[in-house]
Amino acid sequence: MHIISTKALSLSTLKTLVFEGSKIELSDEVIQKIQECRDYLDQKIEATSDPIYGINTGFGSLCDVRIHSENLTKLQENLVRSHACGTGDCVPQPIIKLMLLLKIKSLSYGHSGIQLETVNRLVTFYNNDILPVIYTQGSLGASGDLAPLAHLALPLIGEGMVWYKNVQTPASEVLNAFDWEPITLQSKEGLALLNGTQFMTAYGIHSLLKSFKLSYMADLIGALSLDAYNGRIEPFDPLVHLVRPHNGQIKTAERILSFLEGSELMKQPKKHVQDPYSFRCMPQVHGATKDTLMFVRNTFITEINAVTDNPNIFSKDDKIISGGNFHGQPLAFGFDFLKIAMAELGNISERRTYQLVSGLRELPSFLVEKSGLNSGFMIPQYTAASIVSANKQLATPASVDSIVSSNGQEDHVSMGANAAIQTYQILENVERILAIELLNASQALFFRNQKTSPFLRGILSSFRTEIPKVTEDRVLHDDIQEAIKFIQTLELENDVLFD
């Protein structure tokens, strides 16, 4: 059981929650903060006739339209219904579950005016894997992720669809099955639920966890390729990196040295003086990605431990302030940086694959005997090259774009949600590119009499159980799929998050 408290969520904690599936519960402190804020808001509405944005007014460019007190519940329910206009593909269920968790966390600080009953229902959804059906398209990344979060909120009022036991089911049916009444939304609650960055941050956390793993796998597979290519170890000497001490560069060199420790291939005399950049510069290129990951991680960790709805309620200061904490610009930049950094891991990986199949360093052309009769590994490199180019297109920054909405009231938006989806696609692609490199490196090592390191031999032993040597042409799609599955299921050592 994980207790939602005022303590910040870390990436390691989120990793545990995602992969172990722990249930959650609100701490007593959080319950008190939520209740105190709601009580203050109720008293404020009772005591004043002044317009308060989104509480007794319309929304967006309708902010000057006053709403009578008897219609405040209807106002919030209409907000949820009218904004639930997402389209496109369904958001994957693990990301929806992260959205629920991160929305609960943001509401837990007691600056949103939410009812405790509403937050408890979100907790119950989370704990019972009742996941609102949400769509990938519709958010501008400001005023928060309005359309996706409207779909997140719909089941609270008994509307929309949910995933339950992996089946899309009307929310009303699931509520009836649990004997739950729909939540009656009070003033401000629709805004508290819809304003926020939880679509972007859920994709961000998912992407970070995957990126750290793929960064590790790039080092691991790069080390295999270096040995298979009969590369040199000198470029990974700590002395080289201490005189240019970027943290990621140092970390990459350390990892690759540790992976190759005890390699007989590395000990043999070399005829060549230098290796191509895709091998020799792995510390510099992979390392730059690691440093970018750390920047992006800091951005997203700050965001998930923040209040991102609007207006913000400060009961102790007797202030309700309409601001812009829902604006996703920091996240949009983070996604764009992450897109570029991870696309480059795929780019350099494909270059190593190209070198391995080129008939160099005593390796046969396309890594197959009887080449000509057999095409061997000629076309997987084409596939990797195609994916690399697709990533270059996806890596075009989304954050430099904007479009006017809500009659000019919302006149600058972040497009962070688009960047989130692009990041997700890039990471899927990088995983495929690395799988192709792994397939090639494994095949190349069959042609080396000397052995690679004990650590890498252990990795190869598991891999070759699923994918034997290619001696004659076969359908390599199947091998690529097995290699992808191998990367996805490989359990990693503790330093994968580069803490």
Catalytic site positions: 53
Q: Where are the alpha helices (H) located in 357-453, listed in sequence order?
A: 378-394, 416-445
Cα–Cα distance between 357 and 363 in angstroms, integer?
8
What tokens were used for 76? 């919030």
SS3 57: strand
Name residues whose C-beta falls within 8 Å of residue 461's C-beta, 6 or more positions apart in sequence.
Answer: none
Q: Which H/E stretch holds residue 23? A: none
Cis peptide before 311 (omega within 30 of 0): yes
CB 276, CB 355: distance < 8 Å: yes
What tokens were used for 474? 């076969």
Cis peptide before 143 (omega within 30 of 0): yes
What tokens were used for 108? 């837990």
Extract the runs of DSSP E, i.e. beta strands, from 346-420.
none
What is the signed CA dihedral for 327, 330, 332, 335, rounded to 10 degrees?
A: -150
Cα–Cα distance between 246 and 360 in angstroms, integer?
32
Exposure letters 42-61 (e unless 16+ CB within 10 A, then b): eebbeeeeeebbbbbbbbee
CB 103, CB 131: distance < 8 Å: no
Q: Which amino acid is at 467?
A: I
Name residues whose C-beta falls within 8 Å of residue 326's C-beta, 6 or more positions apart in sequence.
Answer: 142, 143, 144, 195, 196, 197, 308, 309, 310
